[in-house]
Amino acid sequence: MRTTLQLSNGKNIPSLAWGNGSSGLTASGEMAATLGTAAIQGGITHIDTAQMYFTEAETGEAISNAGVDRSTVWVTTKVSESSNTKTTLEDVRRSVTQSIARLGSIPNLLLIHNPFVPQPGRIGEFWTYLEALVKDGTLEGCSLGFSNFRPQDIEEVFKVATIHPVCHQLEYHPYVLVHLEPVLALHRKYNIVAEGYGPLTPIVRHSGGPLRPVLERIAERKGTDIGNVLLQWTIQSGVVAVTTSTRSENIKKLANLFKQEDLTDQDLKDIEAAGRSVHFRFYSEHMTEEFPNPALPDGEVFR
Ligand SMILES: NC(=O)c1ccc[n+]([C@@H]2O[C@H](COP(=O)([O-])OP(=O)(O)OC[C@H]3O[C@@H](n4cnc5c(N)ncnc54)[C@H](OP(=O)(O)O)[C@@H]3O)[C@@H](O)[C@H]2O)c1
């Protein structure tokens, strides 16, 4: 299993991220900072944060408290601040500069949090603002991407982009594969790496459906747990796994993920086949408007 994935701009992104945007962590800045430090000290080299989580300052704190060099940790953040009136380059510059101040450094990757951050019809224009900030040095060395973009949003960016978007962060697990087909086709076309959040959704927010027996069989054979199997499936599919945990035993498990033996090609195929029989999206506020769901059952869902 690869510890990093290469982006189209030649940079290598760590393939496992610990996110501080989940409930519990966003509610307590202190937890985001102390658990972030534990994750980094345990060997995790990628922290996922966002303006919207109010945990950017704690991300910077976690890195400095871990006692590691900033260059050894990859930081992904997301811009969400935009004015209700006509957003200008200066509005976006101010918002991004505040993120950099909270983080204590320029992030490695900056994403537009969702396609509704720019005003309607202005995704391309917003993208050119981010490009301007890279070009004038405000975001020196920072890679750019987006999150929760539908196919039409991705195409809007490519109409104008002079700096190639390298990553797309989106809910990614076996139960959204059919819905994501048109999105993943654009990833292949434009050489975009997916960062998959909610990778444990099929087991923590769903009863498990047809995937559960497949995951359990593989986990038993490998002497691991079904969470690890899902995360390995994500990374071996070429997707950055953006997960999280608030418990030190799970953070330790995460940090040990790369010591696991790889899943076999047959394991990968079996997980994908079971996943494709159900459509279940947990973060339903994203990517559902004007992007119809597939006609599949949703399995047995925890409500
Ligand atoms: N771009 C976006 O719009 C967006 C949206 C949502 C999330 N995100 C990012 O993605 C990150 C992760 O999101 P997520 O919470 O949806 O991730 P997830 O990986 O699907 O779920 C994490 C949950 O799984 C549990 N867990 C961890 N390891 C486990 C294991 N081995 N077995 C069973 N359960 C386990 C954790 O519980 P414990 O705490 O009890 O360990 C935690 O509640 C967020 O923090 C955020 O940074 C981004």
Atom 10 (ligand 1) nearest CA:
197
* CB distance 146 to 111 below 8 Å: yes
3-state secondary structure the chain: CCCEEECCCCCEEECEEEECCCCCCCCCHHHHHHHHHHHHHCCCCEEECCHHHCCHHHHHHHHHHHCCCHHHCEEEEEECCCCCCCCCHHHHHHHHHHHHHHHCCCCCEEEECCCCCCCCCCHHHHHHHHHHHHHCCCCCCCEEEEECCCHHHHHHHHHHCCCCCCEEEEECCHHHCCCCHHHHHHHHHHCCEEEEECCCHHHHCECCCCHHHHHHHHHHHHCCCHHHHHHHHHHHCCCEEEECCCCHHHHHHHHCHHHCCCCCHHHHHHHHHHHCCCCCCCCCCCCCCCCCCCCCCCCCECC
User: What does the pLDDT read at residue 271?
Assistant: 98
User: How far away, in angstroms, is 219 Cα from ligand 1 center?
Assistant: 19
Atom 32 (ligand 1) nearest CA:
227
Beta-carbon contacts of 201 under 8 Å, excluding residues fewer than 6 positions away, are 171, 173, 175, 280, 282
User: What does the pLDDT read at residue 27?
Assistant: 67
User: What does the pLDDT read at residue 83?
Assistant: 57
User: What does the pLDDT read at residue 41?
Assistant: 94
User: What does the pLDDT read at residue 248?
Assistant: 85
Q: Does ligand 1 come within 6 angstroms of the Cβ of 48?
A: yes
To test the pocket of ligand 1, the residue of 47, 200, 205 to mutate (highest count of ligand atoms within 8 Å of its CB) is 200
What architecture does CATH give domain 11-275? Alpha-Beta Barrel (3.20)
User: What does the pLDDT read at residue 203?
Assistant: 95
Query: pLDDT tens track of the chain, all 303 residues?
Result: 999 999 999 999 999 999 999 877 776 778 899 999 999 999 999 999 999 999 999 999 999 999 999 999 999 999 997 656 678 999 999 999 999 999 999 999 999 999 999 998 999 999 999 999 999 999 999 999 999 999 999 999 999 999 999 999 999 999 999 999 999 999 999 999 999 999 999 999 998 899 999 999 999 999 999 999 999 999 999 999 999 999 888 898 898 899 999 999 999 999 999 999 999 999 987 888 889 899 898 877 664
User: What does the pLDDT read at residue 255?
Assistant: 85
